[in-house]
Amino acid sequence: NAGVMQNPRHLVRRRGQEARLRCSPMKGHSHVYWYRQLPEEGLKFMVYLQKENIIDESGMPKERFSAEFPKEGPSILRIQQVVRGDSAAYFCASSPRQVATNEKLFFGSGTQLSVL
Amino acid sequence: GQQLNQSPQSMFIQEGEDVSMNCTSSSIFNTWLWYKQDPGEGPVLLIALYKAGELTSNGRLTAQFGITRKDSFLNISASIPSDVGIYFCAGQPYNTGNQFYFGTGTSLTVIP
């Protein structure tokens, strides 16, 4: 049973380019969460999605960032016109159903985004 | 957002010693999760806690859900070199339903 798969593992972009980060949840999981981690810090919640729906995007910056989880295919975190401050590790987590019902988050290995 | 205070920030211990770390919140939580993260990897779930007062073990690891529902503790007994890493607590406030908030981590170094 494959775990949460994220790709790419490393992504280098120049300022102003777009970054697309992909996440395939564990088999049978329909809920995806995106977190961001800066060096020496904990994980900061960004967005929670179910298939085709954004449930909670309270942690997402209002501009340049967007996320989707289509009916088919992986969840995508998209960062437009990247700036140096976007450099961080981005982690995706999945759970089989809504976390409010005492579930657990299972994390992928992350995508390290470096903006030059 | 919620503040989770995790302590200590770092620990340097001899192999074989026991380790204790804790996490406190400013509000009541209904779930606590403990994770270990190795460099360049994602967090790996160690223990999940769902009831106040609950005490759960996973091998040499034991975690407790504080009775006040505002804290949680993780203990590691008889530490070994592979315990090295960063340990994070994550808590879910009872009135949100969506987010897990993460502590700032405890960096553990085990000296052989």
Write out the two tokens for A77.
């975190």
Tell me the percentage of chain A whose pLDDT exceeds 70.
Answer: 94
How far, in Å, CA of A14 to CA of A2, rounded?
A: 32
Interface test with B, best of A6, A45, A92 (most B CBs within 10 A): A45
Q: What is the reported pLDDT for A1?
A: 52
The pLDDT score that the predictor gives to residue A30 is 87
In the predicted model, what is the mean pLDDT of residues A75-80?
A: 98
A83: its two tokens = 């700036």
pLDDT tens for A13-60 read 999 999 999 999 998 888 999 999 998 788 999 999 998 899 889 899
Given the DSSP bridges, would you call strands B106-111 and B10-14 parallel, antiparallel or unpaired?
parallel
Q: How far apart are CA A43 and CA B28, in angstroms?
A: 20
More confident position, A1 or B34: B34
What residues are paired with B7 via a beta bridge? B22
- Whether A100 has a pLDDT exceeding 60, the answer reads no
> How does DSSP classify residue A99?
G
Is B102 within 8 Å of A98 when comparing Cβ atoms?
Answer: no
Is some CB atom of chain B closer than 8 A to the CB atom of A97?
no
Q: What is the pLDDT of residue A24?
A: 97
pLDDT at A91: 97
**What is the rounded end-to-end Cα distance, in angstroms, of chain B?**
39
Which residues does A1 contact at the CB level (< 8 Å), separation at least 6?
A: A26, A27
Q: Which residues of A58-81 are buried (b: 16+ CB within 10 A; e: fewer)?
A: ebbeeeebebbbeeeebbbbebee
Structure token digits, residue B12: 């340097």
pLDDT tens for chain B, residues 1 to 112: 667 899 999 999 999 999 999 999 988 888 999 999 998 899 999 999 999 999 999 999 999 999 999 999 999 999 999 999 999 999 988 776 667 889 989 999 999 9
Amino acid occupying residue A66 = S
**Looking at beta carbons, which residues of chain B come within 8 Å of A41?**
104-105
Is B40 in contact with A102 (Cβ distance < 8 A)?
A: no
How far apart are the C-alpha atoms of A67 and A49, rounded to whole Å?
8
Q: Which residues of A touch B48 (CB under 8 A)?
A: 104
State how far the Cα of B15 lies from the Cα of B22, in Å rounded to an integer: 20
Report how far residue B95's alpha carbon sits from residue A96's, in angstroms, rounded to the nearest whole number: 20
Provide the pLDDT for residue B11: 95
Residue A114 identity (one-letter amino acid)? S
